[in-house]
Structure 1
Amino acid sequence: MRPKVVAHRGASHDNAEHTLRAYLAALDAGADGLECDVRLTADGHLICVHDRDLRRTAASPGAVSTMELAEIAELDFASWKNPWADLDDEAAEPDPATSGVLTLRKLLEHVADLDRRVEVAIETKHPTRYGGLVEKRLVEMLGEFGWDRAGSPARVMSFSFTALQRVERLAPGVQLVQLIDRPAAWPMLRRAIGRDWLVGPGMDDLTEHRKYGKRLARSGHEVHVWVVNTAEELRLCQDLGVTTVITDRPAYLIGLLDGRPGGRSAPGA
């Protein structure tokens, strides 16, 4: 079985995560889908960012929830990935249009304009000071694209069971993925989650607890795994019948699945 390949925060192994450049690279590689984390700014914009503050990715101590989009838009979200770029004569000049903060709206607009179906896996981050407002704003935005119903290319993921329940009430047709960060949580979650919900275990847990992976595979829930970056991890996922792998290295995994030497993507792919 060939799993779908979803780019984790874009092609984030080689590009700064959550930047438009990272997502364009993933699309060029032929990724089946794009994964992003979303947080709400102080003035109500959903932006693609993982951490609650911007120290790691934009060298700013500010918390996303306390800053307005205009403030965040002034920051550089790409330099941290290659801090020695100024000393590299062959490094490409940074493009502010693809290296700054990325709003969810802009990402969805890019996906909507594509001439092929590309899925979008959107993770809402919790806890947050805005609580359920994050899911409310997200569903409203999906509705603007007509993606708040069955058949939508968008799905919503979260480690928060409560957050996914909110989405289910607001948009019953949208696919939901219950992310799992520890195997011990599965017995309880199995009894609580919806019959048609997907489950998202971490790759490290599947590697360390082989019986856990087999239990998930027999559960009747479609399994999406994060983060799959090596040939060995991909083989384990295939053995378990995993339907989607979320990876920092979409070009590499697609190359492996296509049987190309070294797992490299074809020229121009």
Structure 2
Amino acid sequence: MWKNIVVFIFLMSLSIAQIPDIVAHRGASKDAPENTLAAFELAWEKGADAIEGDFRLTKDNKIVCIHDSTTERTAQQNLVVADSTLAQLRKLDVGIWKDKKWQGQKIPTFQEVVATIPDGKKIYVEIKSSAKIVPFLAQEIVDLKIDIKQIVIIAFDKQVIVEIKKYYPLMKVYLLSNFLKKKQQRRIPSTKKILETLRQINADGIDGIATFLVGKKFVNAIHDAGFEYHTWTINDKATALYFQSLGVESITTDRPYWLRQKLENERAIIEQK
């Protein structure tokens, strides 16, 4: 009986909860090589609300899109991004590791990635470098003349968030968190501690790893305090439905089209009941 009641409550919460924005993790990275223009363009074709990319500062103070601190995993030559120039990095092929059909993909610049964004869509810019990147990023945003409402900054480094807000007080900036680990297990910090941190660094919300340790009470407390709650990286229907029921603002996924279809189909089924 109680199980049926719980299922009923869950279904009811889904019927009234909006489908969160679908953010393409490193582009449509299940199908295309991550953090490449091909992956971002495919994400837009697949109907993503936003793309998410990882950005680092090069030796010559250019901003490039790559997750790791080195090119070892995605290129055939191992360079340290921070110790390499843009010209050196652009010589690398970062597509062929995924499949031969992606051969020739290069590490894109921040400007090239931003240029793919359609009107009304957004980019989640994950800063992988230190706060040293911020002045250069701020200048590139000025040069691009892009609406700052289309740019969201996410970072694990609290100082990055502090510095970004000095340049763009109205830009959305979220603190990334994989939550604390203790003996290989995740542990959610107290709500009080999370809220204190968000206020201290002037963040607009939290972008937390998808774990079932996060519950409705926790997300509600974040929302009630005036902050947003986003989550990453979800590639299965059950987890996505759970976080949708919590009322999160966005879900980051490697499979933007597939996940949206699953959520829309589930809503259609519920509304027919």
TM-score range, shorter chain: 0.7 to 0.9
How far apart in 1 are the matches of 2:95 and 2:191?
36
Which residue of 1 is the match for residue 3 of structure 2? none
How far apart in 2 are the matches of 1:79 and 1:132?
32
Out of 231, 251, 256, the residue aligned to residue 257 of structure 2 is 251
Structure 1 SS opposite 2:139: helix
How far apart in 2 are the matches of 1:168 and 1:146?
18
Out of 92, 113, 118, the residue aligned to residue 107 of structure 1 is 113
Which residue of 1 is the match for residue 135 of structure 2? 136
How far apart in 2 are the matches of 1:178 and 1:186?
14
Deviation at 1:231, TM superposition (A): 0.2
- On the 8 A contact 1:54/1:63 being kept in 2, the answer is yes
Which residue of 2 is the match for residue 17 of structure 1? 34
- Mapping of 1:38-49 within 5 angstroms? 38-49=55-66
How far apart in 1 are the matches of 2:97 and 2:133?
27
Normalised by the length of structure 1, the TM-score is 0.82
Deviation at 1:140, TM superposition (A): 1.5
Deviation at 1:193, TM superposition (A): 1.4
Please tell me the residue identity of whatever aligns with 1:105: Q
- Structure 1: give runs of 5+ residues left out of the alignment: 86-91, 261-269
Which residue of 1 is the match for residue 184 of structure 2? none
Are residues 1:37 and 2:40 paired?
no
Are residues 1:197 and 2:194 paired?
no
Which residue of 2 is the match for residue 231 of structure 1? 237
Which residue of 2 is the match for residue 162 of structure 1? 159
Deviation at 1:243, TM superposition (A): 1.1
Structure 1's 216 and 154: CA in aligned 2 closer, same or farther, altered over 3 A? same
Give RMSD over aligned pairs.
Answer: 1.9
Which residue of 1 is the match for residue 70 of structure 2? 53
Structure 1's 59 and 190: CA in aligned 2 closer, same or farther, altered over 3 A? farther
Please tell me the residue identity of whatever aligns with 1:19: T
How far apart in 1 are the matches of 2:237 and 2:134?
35
Identity of aligned residues (%): 25
- On the 8 A contact 1:217/1:242 being kept in 2, the answer is no
Deviation at 1:185, TM superposition (A): 7.6
What is the aligned residue count? 236
Which residue of 2 is the match for residue 217 of structure 1? 220
Structure 1 SS opposite 2:61: coil
Which residue of 2 is the match for residue 181 of structure 1? 178
Deviations 1:82-129 (A, max 9, x none): 3xx4xxxxxx4x453xx1111110011221xx3x31101001114xxx
Which structure is larger by alpha-carbon Rg, 1 or 2?
A: 2
